[in-house]
Structure 1
């Protein structure tokens, strides 16, 4: 009888401890996510062993083996990564700082731009302007494949692996038809600028990267009157895309990448590095495919038959070597994983 009482006492104590841990874990997680300091149990209790490991796991920003947004992993990363800067323009986050605006309007030499606030207002009268991509969930593992256009994808047979990700980011002209075995056929977000736009399936989000005020005007025109057909190059008057799935890259986020990540190398970031840093801010795990040269050192697109015909690395506006160094550093600290193909 005494042994039974002892056993019941142990079970009750264990249940009480688990209940206390659950309550304290909730409070820690709540204060971390909300920014409020309501109560800090660590100030009053000492935890050890399994309890510390349990509490630490609850406070992680995701359930992946490694989470991109976890800090204190690399000084180099922590000095650059700023989660508070919004990657997309929305109705709630539609202001462009004066410093950004002056830099941004010089990127493609816009001479007589429309007043920026008017352009933004007109744009959000046509597209929804909502964004929930930066939501965090400690019980979620959002995996993202950022698929570049390198010829090293040829013969890689990465298609199925790419399609297995939660999000699949592609960019510019990137075709999938006839290349599914190597590049997959799933796309959730397609990054473009007006001069590189292409028709998209109804379930694909178009992420417009604007380099000038005219680009904001163009998206309105392409969805309504179709009056704009030229920027510095021909652009389509109309586009096939679901209006409610149009997202707009924030100029402040572009400037943040140029200042903090590129350290002013090149004139402005490439679509590739814009997509990679974007992924760091909205994904829990980031895998890169189709970046870099092929195994023979050729820089070309996977849909080109002649490897020497591409040479897309030498654009005159991007610093390919420095951007490659950033990707190498991110790989070395396990923030991303790069699949080099062939």
Structure 2
């Protein structure tokens, strides 16, 4: 329980402080291995399940948007670990943001204030565009890279959200039926940044990167301490979304390690078994965290990979 509490405290209280602008950490590329799936043998979602997912997404979008809903719910569930007042953006007046310097990378900027200031001075903005800020009630969707998206044809619905957050270098071209093509924010690390010009959403893409000059020190620490776990960029994106929007949904999340022959990502032929070799993420703890958010009604799971609200209930 102690470990789980520490995880939640870290991701909820400090993960968003240093999120968008120049920093959202992404731990070194997970060595997924070379376990490839024979996609011809993978059974994708039934047409009934896909229709249910599409209908559920429509219901989420058609319901009346509730201002500040997700922040209130997060504060209710994690009163001592989540602050509604936390800004997800680093501002240029870094002296007023001392919490950002409590921890060393990738959780903070301890002893890096001068370098941080230099980088921030180069950035033109530190917030969402004014057109987003003026909207009375905003809906976010965080689009994960899971194979669970394949066949659901949620692309049209995902494009209807006000803010669409994508992860790493997951492509949209060629997969728009499944994942849409609107991108407001892409959370990534430099080596995983786009892709091609076609992957950019005009006037809307924010590339979130790690301050690379400090990579080696914390990566080397990880190598020496294989038991060190850090949150995935996906769960960090979900928490970030709770600070950006009034309502939050997710799609494409869920690692079912009990199904090693299922497709890991929607865009490649890696199998779920490839996750067995990684040690830096605690997938089980993250799943429980996301399940709690979904079951409590804080966020919606549009693809049902974490917890399926639209699936038939078994007795």
TM-score under structure 1 length normalisation: 0.56
TM-fit CA distance, 1:312: 3.9
1:319 aligns with one of 255, 259, 282: 282
The answer for the alignment partner of 1:166 in structure 2 is: 162
Task: Name the CA distance, whole Å, in 2 between partners of 1:271 and 1:75.
Answer: 24
**Range moving further from structure 2, 94-103 or 163-172:** 94-103
The answer for the alignment partner of 1:104 in structure 2 is: 105
3-state SS, counterpart of residue 170 of structure 1 = strand
Task: Report if aligned partners of 1:86, 1:93 keep a CA contact under 8 Å in 2.
Answer: no
User: Which runs of 5 or more structure 1 residues have no equivalent in the other structure?
Assistant: 1-62, 108-112, 216-229, 234-264
Task: Name the CA distance, whole Å, in 2 between partners of 1:67 and 1:102.
Answer: 29
TM-fit CA distance, 1:204: 3.0
3-state SS, counterpart of residue 85 of structure 1 = coil
The answer for the alignment partner of 1:328 in structure 2 is: 291
2:113 aligns with one of 104, 113, 117: 117
RMSD over aligned Cα atoms: 3.7
Task: Name the CA distance, whole Å, in 2 between partners of 1:86 and 1:315.
Answer: 32
Query: In structure 2, do the counterparts of structure 1 residues 121 and 136 end up closer, same or farther at CA, with 3 Å as the change threshold?
Result: closer
Task: Name the CA distance, whole Å, in 1 between partners of 2:161 and 2:68.
Answer: 15
Task: Report if aligned partners of 2:67, 2:137 keep a CA contact under 8 Å in 1.
Answer: no
TM-fit CA distance, 1:94: 6.2
Query: In structure 2, do the counterparts of structure 1 residues 149 and 313 end up closer, same or farther at CA, with 3 Å as the change threshold?
Result: farther
The answer for the alignment partner of 2:205 in structure 1 is: 205
Task: Name the CA distance, whole Å, in 1 between partners of 2:140 and 2:275.
Answer: 24
3-state SS, counterpart of residue 286 of structure 1 = strand
Task: Report if aligned partners of 1:145, 1:168 keep a CA contact under 8 Å in 2.
Answer: yes
TM-fit CA distance, 1:266: 5.2
**Range moving further from structure 2, 174-183 or 74-83:** 74-83
Task: Report if aligned partners of 2:141, 2:250 keep a CA contact under 8 Å in 1.
Answer: yes
Please give the residue correspondences for 1:205-284 in structure 2 after superposition, counting only pairs within 5 Å: 205-210=205-210, 213-214=213-214, 267-284=229-246
Query: In structure 2, do the counterparts of structure 1 residues 164 and 266 end up closer, same or farther at CA, with 3 Å as the change threshold?
Result: farther
Task: Name the CA distance, whole Å, in 2 between partners of 1:87 and 1:210.
Answer: 15
TM-fit CA distance, 1:299: 6.0
The answer for the alignment partner of 2:301 in structure 1 is: 338
TM-fit CA distance, 1:306: 4.4
The structure whose RCO (Cα within 8 Å, separation 6+) is larger is: 2
TM-fit CA distance, 1:119: 1.2
Please give the residue correspondences for 1:106-185 in structure 2 after superposition, counting only pairs within 5 Å: 116-132=112-128, 140-185=136-181
Task: Report if aligned partners of 1:147, 1:289 keep a CA contact under 8 Å in 2.
Answer: yes
| Higher-Rg member (1/2) | 1
Please give the residue correspondences for 1:19-58 in structure 2 after superposition, counting only pairs within 5 Å: none
TM-fit CA distance, 1:136: 7.2
Query: In structure 2, do the counterparts of structure 1 residues 68 and 190 end up closer, same or farther at CA, with 3 Å as the change threshold?
Result: same
Task: Name the CA distance, whole Å, in 1 between partners of 2:127 and 2:161.
Answer: 20
Task: Name the CA distance, whole Å, in 2 between partners of 1:337 and 1:144.
Answer: 10
TM-score under structure 2 length normalisation: 0.60
TM-fit CA distance, 1:131: 1.6
2:264 aligns with one of 300, 305, 308: 300
3-state SS, counterpart of residue 250 of structure 2 = strand
The answer for the alignment partner of 1:23 in structure 2 is: none
Task: Name the CA distance, whole Å, in 2 between partners of 1:184 and 1:283.
Answer: 20
Query: In structure 2, do the counterparts of structure 1 residues 188 and 99 end up closer, same or farther at CA, with 3 Å as the change threshold?
Result: closer
Task: Report if aligned partners of 1:273, 1:323 keep a CA contact under 8 Å in 2.
Answer: yes
The CA deviation string for residues 58-93 of structure 1, in whole angstroms up to 9 with x for no partner, is xxxxx7247434537874333332122221212134
